[in-house]
Structure formats: C-alpha cells, structure tokens
C-alpha cells in the first residue's frame, strides 16, 4: 500500500461482486468526498481473503481486470490493492487502523455497520471509531441493502448472488448486481464446427480463476466494439464435438451477426438459463436443438 499525501474519504473491502450494496457504499464515499473537498478512495484486498484463509481454489465472480473496470465506473478516484498475505492477516486491529489513518491519511472511513477487521476479525466499528478519534478522523456506517424476496427480505450479498447464479436464477442475481453477470475475453479460433451446422460461434476461454455458472446454454447479450447483439451461449466442455476436453469454453452465436471476429475483445452478458449442456448423438441432432434454443430465447 502506498501513502496518500492528500486526505481522503476511504472505504475498505473485498468488493468481489460490486453489487448494489457495494455501489451504494462507494457512491456515499464519492458524495462525502465531494462535500468535504477530499479525495475518494477504496482499499481492495488481493488475493480475495477467502482464497488465503479458507479455500485456495475459490474463484471470485470477476477477474482482477473486470473488478478494476467495475470499480473505476463508480467514480472512486483512487483504488489501492492491498496484498492479503500472512503478514497482513496477522495485523492487530490497532495496526490495521494505523495503516488506514496514518498511511492513507483517511479523514473519514465509510464501512458497513457490521464491518470486522484485524487478526481473527476481532476489530469492530466501535474500535474503528475509537482509533479514528486519535487521528482526528471519523467513521460513518451504512446499513446493508435488502431486497424483497418471496416472503422475507433478503440481504444483497455476494454469497447470495453466487447462489442464484449456480441455481440458474440469473434474473435475481442480475437484479442484485445491478447489471448482468458477464464473462469477457478475446475471440480465439476453435474447430469451426459451428459453421458446418450454420451456427458459427465466437469462442473465448476465461482464465481458470474466473467463477463460471453451471455448464449449459444461456440467453445472452454480446457486446462487440460497443455494439450489443442478441446471442445464445454455451458454457462447458462441448461433449458432442470433443470427448476429451477438460477446458471449459464459452461459445457464443450472435443472432444478428455472422462475420469472423478473431482477436476481438467481447463481453458476454448472461440473461437467462435455458438448459444444461448435454451430449448429442450427431451434429444434425445438435443443430436441431440449437434451433429450438434460439426459438426459446
């Protein structure tokens, strides 16, 4: 973490999903910074603390590049990536506060009302306020956002969004995100078998650390050079055309564009789950099913 010379309004977190709750928090940071004539800033942990503390195979919803893009769009002026390792995890709550108020020169820290920090998550908002006063700083909290869901209110959270994506409930996941869950990448040349059945696809290969929904067929929008196209996307191992593949592929057929786009950067937004991926007995059978899928979307 590098030191800020100018005072700032600061928030701290994993910010895995940049969902509506995160957006409200970051918007408050930006607004308060403008009112106070200070810089707006966020401290983001890398790698995701859950990877270090709980599960080395945990895959965040968005890659570092995707998350940086989402954070930049919130209006936050400074984004600092803090290395989350054994030394940082061992920081006492008091040493953690010293970094925030002394190294970052934070005059106002805005966090959720249940925010915890420091070794073993033993620090809380009361301690943060106590430490802030010693530096002439202040702490503001905001309540978590909730969404009416079925018969009760459901807190908007990354864990809930991941659960809905896994269940195929993209409508709810996307509502909580405030934007469609997306996968992006560079179009690579595949086996070009889609052309032989009149459904050419754009193939991208997400990095291994990217969280992906269950294998299957999805109604999607695909953004190419700033233009949005209706599309249908298969995520999975392509069992009909490749019996031995262990690499998950995102294959997208654009409904309104059939030109080659190798080397282009595309963004695939997932809108609805259509069906699970399955192996067909022939390419002709696969072609018939794709036609049905397109009619469905």
How far apart are the C-alpha atoms of 219 and 245, rounded to whole Å? Answer: 24
Of 132 and 245, more confident: 132
User: Which of 183-192, 194-203, 214-223, 245-254 has the highest average model confidence (pLDDT)?
Assistant: 214-223
DSSP 144-196: PPEEEETTEEEE--HHHHHHHHHHT-HHHHHHHHTS--EEEEE-B----HHHH
Domain residue spans of the chain: 8-144, 147-177, 182-296
Give the three-class secondary structure for 246: coil
How confident is the model over 96-142, as pLDDT tens digits?
A: 999 999 999 999 999 999 999 999 999 999 999 999 999 999 999 99
How confident is the model over 195-241, as pLDDT tens digits?
A: 555 678 899 999 999 999 999 999 999 999 999 999 999 999 865 55
Residue with structure tokens 């909580």?
176
Tally the C-alpha atoms within 13 A of residue 27's C-alpha that lie toward its C-beta. Answer: 8
Q: Which one is the CATH code of 8-144: 1.10.150.670, 1.10.3720.10, 3.40.50.10190, 3.40.50.620? A: 3.40.50.620
Dihedral in degrees, nearest 10, Cα atoms 29, 31, 35, 38 = 40
Task: Tell me which fold the domain 182-296 belongs to.
Answer: Elongation Factor Tu (Ef-tu); domain 3 (2.40.30)
Cis, peptide link before residue 47, omega less than 30° from 0: yes
pTM of the model: 0.89
Task: For the chain, give the mean pLDDT.
Answer: 89
- Residue 169, Cα to own-chain centre: how many angstroms? 16
How confident is the model over 22-60, as pLDDT tens digits?
A: 999 999 999 999 999 999 999 999 889 999 888 999 999
Amino acid 1: pLDDT: 46
């Amino acid at each position: 973490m590098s030191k800020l010379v100018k005072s700032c309004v600061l928030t701290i977190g994993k910010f895995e999903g940049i969902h509506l709750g995160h957006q409200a928090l970051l918007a408050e940071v930006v607004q308060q910074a403008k009112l106070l004539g200070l810089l707006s800033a966020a401290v983001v942990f890398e790698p995701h603390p859950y990877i270090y503390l709980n599960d080395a195979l945990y895959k965040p919803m968005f890659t570092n590049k995707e998350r940086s893009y989402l954070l930049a769009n919130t209006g936050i002026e400074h984004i600092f990536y803090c290395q989350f390792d054994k030394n940082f995890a061992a920081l006492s709550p008091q040493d953690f506060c010293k970094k925030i108020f002394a190294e970052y020169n934070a005059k106002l820290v805005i966090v959720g009302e249940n925010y915890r920090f420091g070794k073993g998550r033993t620090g809380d908002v009361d301690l943060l306020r106590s430490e802030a006063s010693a530096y002439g700083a202040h702490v503001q909290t905001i309540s978590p956002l909730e969404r009416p869901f079925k018969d009760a209110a459901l807190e908007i959270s990354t864990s809930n969004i991941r659960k809905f994506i896994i269940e195929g409930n993209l409508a709810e996941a996307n509502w909580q995100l405030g934007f469609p869950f997306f996968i992006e990448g560079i179009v690579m040349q595949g086996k070009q078998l889609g052309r032989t059945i009149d459904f050419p696809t754009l193939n991208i290969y997400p990095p291994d650390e990217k969280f992906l929904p269950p294998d299957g067929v999805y109604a999607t929008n695909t953004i190419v050079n700033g233009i949005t196209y209706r599309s249908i996307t298969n995520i999975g191992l392509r069992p009909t055309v490749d019996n031995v593949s262990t690499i998950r592929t995102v294959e997208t057929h654009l409904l309104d564009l059939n030109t080659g786009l190798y080397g282009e950067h595309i963004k695939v937004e997932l809108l609805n789950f259509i069906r699970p991926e399955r192996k067909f007995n022939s390419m002709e059978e696969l072609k018939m099913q794709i036609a049905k899928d397109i009619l469905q979307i």
